[in-house]
Chains A and B, each alone.
Chain A
Amino acid sequence: DAKTTQPPSMDCAEGRAANLPCNHSTISGNEYVYWYRQIHSQGPQYIIHGLKNNETNEMASLIITEDRKSSTLILPHATLRDTAVYYCIVRVSQTGANNLFFGTGTRLTVIP
């Protein structure tokens, strides 16, 4: 599985967009980009995933560069409840064990 690189921490003002970057320069053509987040003392929560095209759901948007070597998770209007550790994971979808390889993630702090 491709390795990902994320900044260890970021701050964002409440109500502003939070843009969380992720580098995955060794990603393979069949590997998806997944984002999970973990709010303090809870289990990780799935946010969004994508392969090539940009994706949007009720929680966030995922922007993947054309060469797929990096991506950005966008929380359009950050709230205090979005304070969490955000994990970027690249993984091929295949039969067999689809375990997720978590790094240390980005700790996002939303400031009032």
Chain B
Amino acid sequence: ETGVTQSPTHLIKTRGQQVTLRCSSQSGHNTVSWYQQALGQGPQFIFQYYREEENGRGNFPPRFSGLQFPNYSSELNVNALELDDSALYLCASSLSSSYNEQFFGPGTRLTVL
């Protein structure tokens, strides 16, 4: 059974640029959630996708957007990058939207200069 994978591992961007992060869910999981983790903080919920539809959103501006594909893989897009967007971005998949046991990927470390 393949776990949650994320790409790329590390990424460096400059302020104002756009970035796309990718996530492959664990086999059989139809729900994916994205989290942002700033240094020294716990992960903060960005949004969740269930069967290709956004199923909930945290306190993040619209320049954070996402997609979930028919194979349940997912993308996180961030436009107009700001310095404070530098963080570890975590993807987590679960069996369903009502299931709280989430399986996390290793994350993508984004640095905005």
Contact = CB atoms under 8 A, between A and B. Distances in A.
A12 B30 CA distance: 38
Interface residues of A, number: 25
Interface string A87-101: 100010111111111
A65 interface: no
B100 interface: yes
Given A43-B90, A43-B106, A44-B104, A98 B97 contact: yes
Interface stretch (A21-29, A66-74, A102-110): A102-110
Contacts of B55: 96-97
A2 to B, nearest CB: 14
Contacts of A45: 104
Interface residues of B, number: 30
A70 B70 CA distance: 41
B76 interface: no
B33 interface: yes
Interface of A: 32, 34, 41-46, 49, 85, 87, 91, 93-105
16 contacts: A43-B92, A43-B104, A43-B105, A43-B107, A44-B104, A93-B99, A97-B45, A97-B50, A97-B56, A98-B97, A98-B98, A98-B100, A99-B33, A100-B35, A102-B42, A104-B40
Given A42-B107, A93-B100, A99-B58, 6 more contacts: A43-B104, A43-B106, A49-B100, A91-B100, A95-B98, A98-B48
